[in-house]
Amino acid sequence: MSKIWLFIDRRLNLSPLLREMADHRIPDHANPLKKASAFMYCFGGISFLILLLQLLTGMFLMLYYVPSPDHAYASVSYIKNEVAFGALTQNLHRVGASAAVVMVFLHMLRVYFTKSYKNPRELNWIAGVLLLLVVLGFGFTGYLLPWDQKAYWATTVGVNIIETVPWLGGFIADMLRGGDEVGALTLTRFFVIHVMFLPALLLCLLAAHFFMVRRQGISHPL
């Protein structure tokens, strides 16, 4: 193990990078072993963990899921009834979505009530609000994918709500739907947004978010 590591490190000089990442100390007010109230400072990390799990379960669901009105419903029931661990994976993905929303919301409350958004962390707060929107976007687009009654009609209502927005609303609604009604195009669009656009955006924002956290350190206690 150490020989392989040395081989790589001699060539790529990774250890300074690693040290840069791992060499920092955890202030007591954010360390749950030292102070019980520090559990609040875990919410961001737990959100991240859940999002990783969503990524993983999502990838496995994608092995079988077919984003077309004719096959989506059947492919989801196939996952739930036939595929090994399919029901668990599918349910984990559904439950994980709720958990992610809850944890991100709690994380935001922690940042808000400790006023960690103040100078110099303004930019990271803004990255955070964008992250919140992305997470909600995942929830909205993912809800359509099973193509059951609830999915179809909730999405219809959701897009109709967007449509009422002056100026841009009609345009955005048309772009999302790809027509006058929720249909085949809507499903492929929501699918691609859910599995490509939003994950790409999420990863970029998370990189920025974590870079700023490490650069600035955790905010000081009240």
Partner 1 sequence: MRPNTSPSHERPAGAVPPSGHADTRAPFYPNHLFVEGVVALLVFALLVILACFWQVPPEEMADPSDSAYVPRPEWYFLFYFQLLKYFEGPLILVGTFVLPLLIFAALFLLPFIDRSEETRPSKRPWAMGLGLAGLLAVAGLTVVSVVQDAEHRMDLPPITEEHLAAGEDLFARFCVLCHSMNGKGGFMAPDLSQIGARVNRVYIERVILTPQIVSQTTIMSQIPLSDDERHDVSAYLARKKK
Site for ligand HEM in 14-53 (CB under 6 A): 41, 43-45, 47-48, 51
Query: Mask 94-113, x = binds ligand HEM (CB under 6 A)?
Result: ----------x--xx-xx--
Q: Copy the structure tokens of residue 93.
A: 């993905």
Query: Mask 116-155, x = binds ligand HEM (CB under 6 A)?
Result: xx---x--xx--xx-xx--x--------------------
Contact with partner 1 (CB under 8 A): which of 40, 50, 134, 193? 50
Q: Which residue has the tokens 């979505």?
A: 97
Cα–Cα distance for residue pair 180/14, rounded to 1 Å:
54
Q: Copy the structure tokens of residue 39.
A: 């559990």
Considering only CA atoms, which of 135, 143, 141 is closest in space to residue 108? 135
Cα–Cα distance for residue pair 182/175, rounded to 1 Å:
11
Question: What is the nearest approach in angstroms of partner 1 to the Cβ of residue 43?
Answer: 11
Question: What is the nearest approach in angstroms of partner 1 to the Cβ of residue 44?
Answer: 11
Instruction: Give yes or no for residue 140 binding partner 1 (CB under 8 A).
Output: yes
Report the alpha-carbon angle 13-16-22, nearest 5.
Answer: 135
Considering only CA atoms, which of 90, 11, 104, 15 is closest in space to residue 51? 104
Question: What is the nearest approach in angstroms of ligand HEM to the Cβ of residue 209?
Answer: 5
Is residue 175 within 8 A of residue 162, CB to CB? The reply is: no
**Residues binding ligand HEM (CB under 6 A):** 41, 43-45, 47-48, 51, 104, 107-108, 110-111, 116-117, 121, 124-125, 128-129, 131-132, 135, 206, 209, 213, 218-219
